[in-house]
Structure 1
């Protein structure tokens, strides 16, 4: 399979969507992919998006999109509650799947998707794209090469904006039951990057809170309850024995940014990002060595950390890199950075954090 692979993107609106902002540019920048189709919930918007993005086909039926012979890969870029239905349609058609994170609303749903994807025998990729960001890749390389010696501890802290005012169309982002909220999105991407670089979390003690319990829906003239945590933190021990701490805070007015520090016997490394909403998977990251006096020396990722065209920008580079590895995996090369089973592991880690926070006790991860 050496020709261009056709991608059918479900969820790429002209008005603004992650599919349109990250997936479409990544596909356009790839020498191995072509945009075959756009799917939305209404044919009117599907045709509008297809014309805008240059896709030859438009669909309002996801099963029909998946069955089309020009589509080799189905990219699912819609709200989390729709993921299972749309992924299953792609798997039923025997197509490779790129599904955005969170994979599912909950762990039970994720388990069903893993089983179905494995039974289908296709390549399945979960959009935990921080794993594919060049600065994260190089941080992992340096640690594994012994740059800082044995890892003693690591901390990840994110203080970003999570507004108390939203349009009514984004009310679902406030709800725990939707599966797509600050805890699972900002938090889920953060903890996945953390464990991908450092290895599995063995045990943790967590706290979680909803600091802004009511959100204003400005275009509906009403308020809604926020039921998903906008703050959480855990400390614990990695399987390697290293001490670990992670804190993710969604603030009404924004915060100081992102700081991911890894401390070893021979030195420390630091990933950082500024900005109002510094999510680790889509921020303009810097990587630095930390001197004994605290001075920072910038470290640029080498060429082997760039699998895709970096001109797509920091917000989309992880997605572009995921697509590059997806193509390789389909053609029999290296595996994808995160398949559905990896996403299931991340869902289970989120479960462990919630359990610890709810019961006020240490939790053995995986137990």
Structure 2
């Protein structure tokens, strides 16, 4: 049981997912704030939470709350994070951290000044075998890297009648599929490769220029992308490419990457998350199966169950939050954080802005 207590803002898919992971870790959750007091009351009762906050200000004023988990639409992140930091609360914010890099830069500064722990929930890096892939790259077993490729594809916005607040740039930001899922892919491969994406060349497409809002049957003009292809170069010149899409039929939530070098290759697919493929030129290929007893220490730390016992999406939140709350328990805010930080969140917004600019100019664009 951790001595730090949390409160959650937002009761959608992300809010309840955060709650489940916190409970698995033994973090006390004091209550929840929603878009209205009435909704908070209903959600607190449904979720078995002790308190329904009348509004966000009441949550922030609660001295028993040490950590705020922000799980609301993107356009609300900046103000809520800022208020939490000013109140001396630690913050776990859903991605993206804010709507633009000016806002994220301000939040990086505010977090540093406040002296609290501040994280962005790039949970998908926390599949255990991503850390094993990182170990293979860092140890030199893949050799001098040649290129990286992959994708993050879904189909939940396949039809013109599919709708969500994320299609509205006023709420979600100028980029949708890149910001929503592409940033997860970029965070993952940068963590594994130990390199940063330095320049991009992007091609974005909106396949449904209008969508039908099921709430009022209105036709809504869409100014955010449904899919994208992106070339990139990393800070050491390493080349790569990836595709992101929310209109890829049959692919519910597929993340893939392959990293190739002069001594081998490593590849992973989220549809088989407990298997890591290792490719060779001169001997049979290998499949590493998740088993804490046979993994590197950093990977084994993020594998809770024995071999043959599958771990998946909910477990990534648990492991992300465990890194965060263990850091809080250690009490050294000057130590290097093991979790995705506000600086990581800021860099992802810089990447998004470079990708949008590249698409608009049809040219390579430097990041930052």
TM interval, short-chain normalised: 0.7 to 0.9
Distance change in 2, residues 1:46/1:294 (3 Å) = farther
Residue equivalent to 2:153: 159
CA contact (8 A) 2:147 2:238 kept: yes
CA contact (8 A) 2:277 2:285 kept: no
Partners of 2:71 and 2:251 in 1: CA distance = 28
CA shift, 1:355, in A, is 1.0
CA shift, 1:103, in A, is 0.6
CA shift, 1:177, in A, is 3.6
Residue equivalent to 1:339: 341
SS of residue matched to 2:246? strand
Residue equivalent to 2:190: 195
Over residues 20-52 of structure 1, what are the superposed CA-to-partner deviations in whole Å (9 max), with x where a residue is unaligned?
1x2111111113x11111111222221222222
Residue equivalent to 2:353: 351
Distance change in 2, residues 1:182/1:23 (3 Å) = same
Over residues 178-236 of structure 1, what are the superposed CA-to-partner deviations in whole Å (9 max), with x where a residue is unaligned?
23532211112112212222211122222111122222223422221221111112223
SS of residue matched to 2:91? strand
Distance change in 2, residues 1:3/1:269 (3 Å) = closer
Match of 2:240 among 240, 244, 250: 244
**Is 1:222 the equivalent of 2:218?**
yes
Match of 1:124 among 104, 118, 132: 118
CA shift, 1:313, in A, is 5.3
SS of residue matched to 2:35? coil
CA contact (8 A) 1:30 1:309 kept: no
CA shift, 1:272, in A, is 1.0
Distance change in 2, residues 1:255/1:10 (3 Å) = closer
Shifted more, 173-182 versus 354-363: the winner is 173-182
RMSD: 2.5
Residue equivalent to 2:95: 101
SS of residue matched to 1:251? coil
Partners of 2:94 and 2:152 in 1: CA distance = 21
Shifted more, 2-11 versus 65-74: the winner is 2-11
Match of 1:262 among 253, 259, 262: 259
CA shift, 1:104, in A, is 0.6
Structure 2 runs not aligned, ≥5 long: none
TM normalised by structure 2 equals: 0.87
